[in-house]
Homo-oligomer: A and B are copies of this chain.
Amino acid sequence: MKEYKVRFKVAWHETDAARVVHFSNYFKYFERAELELYDYLGFNYATTLKNSTMWFPRVEAHCKYLSPCEFNDEIEVIMNLAEMKEKSIKYNMRVFNLTTQKISAEGYITIVAVDRNIGKAVALPKDFAQAILKYFNQ
């Protein structure tokens, strides 16, 4: 199965007084990988939010912290499709620290398609679901 990867450097403001990336920021890294994938596949989340009542809130997030990242470390977020259901998707995430050559964190996020008007989970848009499946099944 294909993975989706994004690379970037740790920003100064992402560190805390322990001189490592604050643990909450790994969830921002996870989301960055996810939203960049949608962008790459041609599904702009910004446009979806503006032109429809659909949004994709996270319903679950998890992370194990294995090795810290420091300011300016180059990191890679590696994203896999863990499970796709009718209304939700679970992505596995791994943060690899290219500077230290260690796995920094492992986790997952689960998102669900929700219609804001009715406030309930609905089926994932078909073309969206298919594009994601197609990408990871390459």
Do the beta carbons of B58 and A32 come within 8 Å of each other?
Answer: no
1/0 per position for A60-87, CB-CB distance to B under 8 A?
Answer: 1111110010111000000000000000
A12 and B62: CB pair below 8 A? Answer: no
The count of identical subunits is: 4
Name the B residues within 8 Å of A4 (CB-CB): none
A35 at the interface (CB under 8 A from B): yes
When A and B form their complex, which 4 residue pairs have the shortest distance between CB atoms, in order from nearest? A15-B17, A24-B27, A17-B19, A23-B58
Q: Chain A residues in contact with chain B, CB under 8 A?
A: 9, 11-13, 15-20, 22-25, 27-28, 31-32, 35, 39, 44-46, 49, 55, 57-65, 68, 70-72
